[in-house]
Structure 1
Amino acid sequence: MFRLSNNLVGILNFVTFLLSVPILGAGIWLANRASTDCEKFLEKPVIALGVFLMVVSLAGLLGACCGISWLLWLYLLVMFLLIVLLFCFTIFAFVVTNKGAGRVLSDRGYKEYRLGDYSNWLQKRVNSTKNWNKIRSCIIDSKVCSNLADDTANDSLDQFLAEHLSSLQSGCCKPSDDCGFTYVNATTWTTLPAGTVYNNPDCTLWSNDKNQLCYNCQSCKAGLLDNIKSDWKKVAVVNIIFLVFLIIVYSVGCCAFRNNREDRAFWKSRPYP
Structure 2
Amino acid sequence: MCRLSNSLIGMLNFITLVLSIPILAVGIWLAQKGSTDCEKFLEKPIIVIGVFLMLVSIAGLIGACCRVTWLLWVYLLVMFILIVLLFCFTVFAFVVTNKGAGDALSGKGYKEYRLGNYSDWLQKRVTNTKNWSKIKSCLVASKACQTINGGKNMTAEEFYQEELSPIQSSCCKPLDSCGFTYVNQTMWINPGNTTSTDSDCNLWSNNQNELCFNCNSCKAGLLQTIKNDWKKTAIVNIIFLIFLIIVYSVGCCAFRNNREDNAYSRWKPYAY
TM-score interval for Structure 1 and Structure 2 normalised by the shorter chain: over 0.9
- The Cα of 1:197 is off from its aligned counterpart by 5.8
Q: Distance in 2 between matches of 1:67 and 1:117?
A: 55
CA shift in 2, pair 1:232/1:41, >3 Å: same
Partner of 1:233: 231
* 3-state SS of 1:99 partner: coil
Which letter does structure 2 place at the counterpart of 1:243? L
- The Cα of 1:192 is off from its aligned counterpart by 2.3
- The Cα of 1:157 is off from its aligned counterpart by 1.2
* Residues 169-184 of structure 1 aligned to structure 2 (within 5 Å): 169-184=168-183
* 3-state SS of 2:35 partner: coil
2:247 to 246, 249, 254: 249
Q: Distance in 1 between matches of 2:194 and 2:66?
A: 76
**TM-score, normalised by the number of residues in structure 1:** 0.96
Q: Distance in 2 between matches of 1:180 and 1:227?
A: 25
Q: Does the 8 A contact of 2:171 with 2:213 survive in 1?
A: yes
Which letter does structure 2 place at the counterpart of 1:236? A
Q: Distance in 1 between matches of 2:21 and 2:165?
A: 35
Which letter does structure 1 place at the counterpart of 2:185? A
Runs of 4 or more consecutive aligned structure 1 residues displaced over 3 Å after TM superposition = 149-152, 195-198
Partner of 2:199: 201
Count of residue pairs the alignment pairs up: 270
Which letter does structure 2 place at the counterpart of 1:29? W
Partner of 2:48: 48
Q: Distance in 2 between matches of 1:59 and 1:26?
A: 23
Measured against aligned partners, the alpha-carbon deviations of 1:209-233 in whole angstroms (never above 9, x if no partner) come to 0000000000100000000100000
Which letter does structure 2 place at the counterpart of 1:8? L
Partner of 1:265: 263
Q: Distance in 1 between matches of 2:238 and 2:222?
A: 24
* 3-state SS of 1:189 partner: strand
* Residues 128-167 of structure 1 aligned to structure 2 (within 5 Å): 128-148=128-148, 151-153=151-153, 155-167=154-166
Unaligned runs of 5+ in 2: none
CA shift in 2, pair 1:150/1:270, >3 Å: closer
Partner of 2:118: 118
Measured against aligned partners, the alpha-carbon deviations of 1:106-142 in whole angstroms (never above 9, x if no partner) come to 0000000000000100000000111111111111111
Q: Does the 8 A contact of 1:27 with 1:43 survive in 2?
A: yes
Q: Distance in 2 between matches of 1:130 and 1:77?
A: 37
Q: Does the 8 A contact of 1:152 with 1:160 survive in 2?
A: no
- The Cα of 1:196 is off from its aligned counterpart by 5.5
CA shift in 2, pair 1:143/1:234, >3 Å: same
Measured against aligned partners, the alpha-carbon deviations of 1:24-81 in whole angstroms (never above 9, x if no partner) come to 0010000000000000000000000000000000000000001111100000000000
Q: Distance in 2 between matches of 1:236 and 1:156?
A: 39
Question: Among the aligned pairs, what percent are the same residue?
Answer: 66
Q: Distance in 2 between matches of 1:236 and 1:53?
A: 20
Which range is displaced more, 181-190 or 140-149?
140-149
Unaligned runs of 5+ in 1: none
Partner of 1:190: 189
**TM-score, normalised by the number of residues in structure 2:** 0.97
* 3-state SS of 1:184 partner: strand
